[in-house]
Amino acid sequence: MRHTVTWAAATFIAYLAETCILSRTGTVMPDLLLILVVSCGFLHGKRAGMLEGFFAGLLLDLFFGETIGLTALLYLILGYISGRLCGIYFEQYVRVPVLVSFAGSLAVNFIIYFLGFFSRGRIRIPAYFLRLILPKAALTALVCIIVYKLIYLVHHRLDEAVRSRKHTTWLKD
């Protein structure tokens, strides 16, 4: 429950940060919500990753998208994939979510490019790749290092709180 509320709050904050503050800069932005989706899957497993991915994607789609559901679908798949890595690697291994974020950002943005731009005759793939897709993925990976550490700290705190409560009940019994 605590985890759910924390993730929902984090998603909202990331969304607002992206639309209201980061987008003011007018340069390439990191995919904050994508980082959250990957981290959630990696820490909590497939189920949580999928749900986080679906709702975070839906949030992005709802407010500007003219076709709702594409980002939801892409983030859902990403959450599932990163959820499969849960339990395989130690949670402290920052490099795993960072790599997944990098690859995920590349893949998601390539798909958006192909569906929204390539299909309309904007076929200068190298230009789009070098100017937007690659910098975006690299920035996302960089930001992921910081954001994941933050998420990991909060996650650990929450887990500890739950564990200590359980511990006391067990002692009382």
Partner 1 sequence: MKDFFRKDRHLFIALALIAVGLILTTAVYRPGLGILNSAASRLIVPLENGINLIGTYITEKADGFRDNAALAEEVRRLTEENESLQAERAENAQKLLELERLTALYELDQEYPDYEMIGARVISKEPGNWYQRFKINKGSEDGVAVDMNVMTGGGLCGIVYQVGPHWAAVRAIIDDESNVSAMVADTADLCTVTGSLIDMDDGVILFYGLRDAGGLTMIGDRIITSGISEKFLPGLTIGYISELTEDANNLTKSGKLIPAADFRSLREVLVITAVKESAEEEAAEEGQ
- Count of residues that bind partner 1 according to CB under 8 A: 52
Q: How far is the CB of 71 from partner 1 (least distance, A)?
A: 8
Residue 99 within binding range of partner 1, rule CB under 8 A: no
Q: Least distance (Å) from partner 1 to the CB of residue 130?
A: 10
Candidate residues 7, 42, 54, 102; the one interacting with partner 1 per rule CB under 8 A: 54
Count Cα neighbours of 135 within 13 Å in the Cβ-side half-sphere. Answer: 9
Q: What 8-state DSSP symbol labels residue 69?
A: T
C-alpha 152/C-alpha 91 separation (Å) is: 8
Q: Whole-angstrom distance between the N-terminal and C-terminal Cα of the chain?
A: 24
CA 138 to the chain's CA centroid: 14
Joined together, the tokens standing for residue 11 give 């998603």
Binding of residue 97 to partner 1 (CB under 8 A): no
Distance CA 131, CA 126 (A): 8
DSSP annotation of 18: I
Q: Is 129 in the site for partner 1 (CB under 8 A)?
A: no
**Which residues in this chain contact partner 1 in the complex, by CB under 8 A?**
12, 15-16, 18-24, 26, 28-29, 31-33, 46-47, 50-51, 54, 57, 59-64, 66-70, 72-73, 76-77, 80, 83, 109, 112-113, 116-117, 120, 122, 124, 127-128, 131-132, 136
